[in-house]
Chain A
Amino acid sequence: MLTSHSLLPYLVLIPLMASAFILVVPSERISAIRKIAIGATFLTLILAFFFLFSYQPSGSPYQFTIQIPWVRSFGISYHAGLDGIGVVMVLLHAILSFTGALVSRSIKQDVKLYFIFYLILVASIFGVFTSLDLFFLYLFYEMSVIPLYPMIGIWGSQNREYASMKLTLYISLGAVIALVGLLALYFASGLQTFDLEALSQQAQNQPFSVYFQMWCAPLLIFGFGVIASLWPFHSWSPIGYAAAPTAVSMLHAGVLKKLGIFLIIRIVIPLLPEGAKFWLPITAVLCIVNILYGAWAAMAQKDMKFVIGFASVSHMGYAFLGLACLNQMGLTATVFFMFAHGIMAALCFALIGFIYDQTHTRMIPDLGGLAKQLPFITVCFVIAAFASSGLPGFANFVSEILIFFSAWEHYPVQTILAIFGIVITATYMLRMIRNVFFGPPNPNWAYLKDAKGLAGKLPYGFLVAVLLIFGVWPSLLLNIIRPTTEALIESRAAVLAQYP
Chain B
Amino acid sequence: MIHIAWWILFFPLISFAIIPFIPEAKRIFAGWIACVGIFFSFLITLRFARPMFDAGEFHTWYSKINWILIPGLQLELGFFIDSLAILMLLVVTGVGTAIFYYSLEYMEHDEGYKRYFAGLSLFAFSMIGIVISGNLLQLFIFWELVGLSSYLLIGHWYQKDEAADAGKKAFLTNRIGDFGFLIGILLLWTFSGPAGSRTLNFLQLNASISSFVQSSPAHATGLTIAMLLIFCGVLGKSAQFPLHVWLPDAMEGPTPVSALIHAATMVAAGVYLLARMFSLFLLSPVALEIIAYIGGFTALFAATQAIVQKDIKRVLAYSTLSQLGYMVMAIGLGSAAVGMYHLTTHAFFKALLFLGAGSIIHATEKQNIFEMGGVIKKMPFTSAAFLIGTFALIGFWPSSGFFSKDKILALAFSENRLLFISSAITVFLTALYMGRAISLMFFGASKIRKKLHEPSQKILMPLLILSILSLAGGFFGFERFLHDPNHHEMSGPNSLVIQLATVLGLAGVFSGFFFYRIGEKNRKSLLQPFSWAYEILMRKYFMDDLYDFLIRYIQQPFAKLLDWFERTIIVEGAVNHAASFTALTGRYFKKLQTGRIQTYLSVFFSGVVIAIYLIRFGALH
Interface: A409 (CB within 8 A):
yes
- A439–B560 contact, CB under 8 A? no
- A299–B559 contact, CB under 8 A? yes
Known: A299-B559, A391-B144, A437-B158. A475 touches B72 (CB 8 A): no
CA distance in complex: A404, B164 (Å):
31
CA distance in complex: A405, B335 (Å):
32
Q: Smallest Cβ distance from A312 to chain B, in angstroms?
A: 14
CA distance in complex: A409, B68 (Å):
19
Q: Smallest Cβ distance from B143 to chain A, in angstroms?
A: 8
Mark A405-424 against chain B: 1 for CB-CB distance below 8 A, else 0.
Answer: 11011000001100110110
- A404–B182 contact, CB under 8 A? yes
Interface: B613 (CB within 8 A):
no
Interface: B527 (CB within 8 A):
no
- List the interface of chain B (C-beta within 8 A of A): 66-73, 137, 140-142, 144-145, 148, 151-152, 155, 158-161, 164-165, 168, 171-172, 175-176, 179, 182-183, 186, 189-190, 195, 555-556, 558-560, 562-563, 566, 570-571, 574-575, 579
- A332–B70 contact, CB under 8 A? yes
- A297–B148 contact, CB under 8 A? no
Q: What is the chain A residue whose CB lies nearest that of B69?
A: A475
Q: What is the chain A residue whose CB lies nearest that of B67?
A: A475
- B158–A439 contact, CB under 8 A? yes
Known: A438-B159, A478-B70. A296 touches B559 (CB 8 A): yes
- Which residues of B have CB within 8 Å of A166? 575, 579
Q: Smallest Cβ distance from A38 to chain B, in angstroms?
A: 26
Q: Smallest Cβ distance from A293 to chain B, in angstroms?
A: 6
Interface of B, helix, strand, loop or mixed by DSSP: helix
Q: Give chain A interface residues in 286-332, CB to chain B under 8 Å.
A: 293, 296-297, 299-301, 327-329, 332
Q: Give chain A interface residues in 415-463, CB to chain B under 8 Å.
A: 415-416, 419-420, 422-423, 426-427, 430-431, 433-434, 437-441
Among B137, B141, B164, the most chain A Cβ lie within 10 Å of the Cβ of B164
Interface: A372 (CB within 8 A):
yes
Q: Smallest Cβ distance from B150 to chain A, in angstroms?
A: 12
Among B183, B559, B571, B579, the most chain A Cβ lie within 10 Å of the Cβ of B559
Q: Smallest Cβ distance from B362 to chain A, in angstroms?
A: 23
- A438–B155 contact, CB under 8 A? yes
Mark A379-398 against chain B: 1 for CB-CB distance below 8 A, else 0.
Answer: 00010001001011100011
Partner of A235, one of B72, B555, B570: B570
- B559–A434 contact, CB under 8 A? no
- A440–B70 contact, CB under 8 A? no
- B161–A392 contact, CB under 8 A? no
- B168–A430 contact, CB under 8 A? yes
Interface: A353 (CB within 8 A):
no
- B183–A419 contact, CB under 8 A? yes
CA distance in complex: A420, B575 (Å):
29
Would you give 15 A-B contacts (Cβ < 8 Å), ordered by A?
A296-B562, A300-B556, A327-B72, A391-B144, A392-B140, A397-B144, A405-B73, A405-B189, A409-B190, A427-B175, A431-B168, A439-B161, A440-B160, A440-B161, A486-B71
Partner of B168, one of A397, A422, A434: A434
Q: What is the chain A residue whose CB lies nearest that of B72?
A: A329
- Which residues of B have CB within 8 Å of A479? 69
Interface: A369 (CB within 8 A):
yes
* The 5 nearest A-B residue pairs measured at CB: A438-B164, A300-B563, A392-B141, A299-B559, A300-B559
- B68–A398 contact, CB under 8 A? yes
- Which residues of A have CB within 8 Å of B145? 391-393
- A232–B570 contact, CB under 8 A? yes
Q: Smallest Cβ distance from A483 to chain B, in angstroms?
A: 11
Among B71, B148, B161, the most chain A Cβ lie within 10 Å of the Cβ of B71
Q: What is the chain B residue whose CB lies nearest that of A398?
A: B68
- Which residues of A have CB within 8 Å of B70? 328-329, 332-333, 402, 478, 482
Q: Smallest Cβ distance from B267 to chain A, in angstroms?
A: 19
Known: A296-B562, A328-B70. A419 touches B158 (CB 8 A): no
Q: Smallest Cβ distance from B199 to chain A, in angstroms?
A: 13
CA distance in complex: A101, B601 (Å):
48
- B190–A419 contact, CB under 8 A? no
- Which residues of B have CB within 8 Å of A232? 570, 574
- B67–A402 contact, CB under 8 A? no
- B562–A297 contact, CB under 8 A? yes
- Which residues of A have CB within 8 Å of B168? 430-431, 433-434
Known: A333-B70, A430-B168. 18 other contacts (CB 8 A): A235-B570, A296-B559, A301-B563, A328-B70, A328-B72, A391-B145, A392-B141, A392-B142, A397-B141, A404-B186, A405-B72, A416-B183, A419-B183, A430-B151, A474-B68, A478-B69, A482-B69, A482-B71
- Which residues of B have CB within 8 Å of A420? 179
Known: A372-B159, A423-B179, A441-B159. A329 touches B71 (CB 8 A): yes
- B571–A422 contact, CB under 8 A? no
